[in-house]
Homo-oligomer: A and B are copies of this chain.
Amino acid sequence: MLQPGLMMDRPLLISAIIEHAAAQYAHVDVVSRETHGPLFRYTWSECAVRSRRFANALAGLGLGPGSAVGSIAWNNHRHLEAYFAVSGSGMVMHTCNPRLQPQQLIYIINHAEDQVVLFDATFAPLVKGIAAHCPQVKHWVCLADAENTPAIEGVANVVAYEDLIAPHGDAFEWPEFDERTGAALCYTSGTTGNPKGVLYSHRSMVLNALSGAVPGVMGLSPSETVLPVVPMFHINAWCIPYGAPMVGARLVLPGPKLDGASLHALFESEKVTVGAGVPTIWLGLAQYVEQNGLRFSTLKRLLTGGTAMPLALIAKFADDFGVEVGHGWGMTETTAVATFGALTPADREKPAAEQHAVIARQGKSLHGVDIKIVDEAGATLPRDGVAQGELMVRGHWIVDRYYKATESALRDGWFPTGDIATIDPDGRMQIRDRTKDVIKSGGEWISSIDLENTAIAHPAVAMAAVIGVRHPKWDERPLLFIVRKPGQALEKDEILAYLRERVASWWVPDDVVFLESLPVGGTGKVQKTHLRETYGGLFT
């Protein structure tokens, strides 16, 4: 018979993170860009004090365990305090992506039953448009002082965060409860149907944050200053707001200023060593740095994910700027990072181009997450770097069931990601496509992502997208969409010839459509659904 262990039984709680930082990293600082411009600066100890005051304020508003608090906000120190105050109180921190359509925002705020919504002044127009449709929201709290809180026409219950916490005390007894309690809620930005909510538990977030802090992933420690550009309003800023205080890293929050010039200035002035964000952000940063003949004085590593980081951009940072890129993968349903690719000592002895190719893969699963790829019948495919199948994940921080759903989101105990991937013999995973985007042509699969990445490497191409369109003989054939760079006169024959030299002949798209723009959704990804609606019938 199993013997029970005889160790202390204490829950893994988010409140313990900020109190640990207050006790052990009291003087380590947190820097935050206010929405109205200036930098704000304090310590983990002061962050803890203000988190407790906000927890008192929430209790004062009549909210209790299980209540939901929404946020439509940038990465800043008040949003950070809310992360600890709301979850730490046993409430649910519901981060809303301001890039969602207003009707989707209304849907998720009502579905989550948010009683309070925190917002940054930037989003006052958004609040104005949705407030009347969210009747259960008792208070709209602007993450600012009174001076920087705008009046919103038609919205009476707006209060400044600083006014709200001012009367409250610095002490707060964080409640102890089951670590499986819901801590935060984030909705997917599904292109079809309503967004679906993922209710993260304290346990899942603490385990993810800790697992992400190890050197082979984010490598957070008191020696690092980390700047998450990845938004706190979506997928928990990859849990960096939890991981940094856990291990005593300095944290720099960029607020609304995410352009290359602002980020470069902040990286330099705050001596940032690690940045985290999606490839689009790093593209803007690279262009700014390049155009202005700048370099980085302290930046050592950029962490990226969300969409695949183009090889050329990995090479630009590594070879020209001396900044190593670490490439991860995760989705709303996986709390934050689930796999991560970093160079091993053996990789570092390879030529630069091979190193970049290693980084371009999304890497190995973190301890705590299992991965496999399966065919359409659910059979596990080999880890040979060739076989492509749907990526399946399971682990401590993977969704089991969507919020308010009655059925499990799992298939045989694994979460089907909807991504098509390969896994190398050494365990490195690479996303090749989305299941709904992969092109099935003559019984074989063509990766739309690989085609797009190849096309975008052409110097005249600004954006590229590929969809499969029905074809009488081949089932599906690829159709390429191109947005030209300004002033470029690229034509169909030239881009097809360019592709013909670089991909298998039967991958070469059957046609090319030149557009002025591509439809981009709430999380910055091209919405191929719209392209399919308009162009999907072309070859039938």
Contact = CB atoms under 8 A, between A and B. Distances in A.
A47 interface: no
**Residue of A5, A20, A426 most packed against chain B (CB within 10 A):** A5
A contact residues, range: 35 or more
Contact of A7 (B3, B247, B370, B399): B399
Interface stretch (A208-216, A262-270, A438-446): A208-216
Nearest to A199: B6
Interface in A400-447: 400-403, 410, 415, 425-427
A17 interface: yes
A16 to B, nearest CB: 8
Interface string A1-42: 111111111101000110010011111000000000000000
A295 B382 CA distance: 46
A90 B2 contact: yes
B403 A6 contact: yes
Nearest to A246: B367
**Residue of A24, A90, A219, A335 most packed against chain B (CB within 10 A):** A24
A397 interface: yes
B215 A219 contact: yes
Contacts of A66: 1-3
A120 to B, nearest CB: 26
Contacts of A365: 20, 23-24
Contacts of A12: 396
A14 to B, nearest CB: 12
A160 B79 CA distance: 61
B344 A223 contact: yes
A349 B88 CA distance: 36
Contacts of A204: 5, 7
A389 to B, nearest CB: 16
Interface of A: 1-10, 12, 16-17, 20, 23-27, 64-66, 90, 92, 177-178, 180-183, 198-204, 210-211, 213-216, 219-224, 246-248, 335, 342, 344-345, 364-365, 367-368, 370, 394-403, 410, 415, 425-427
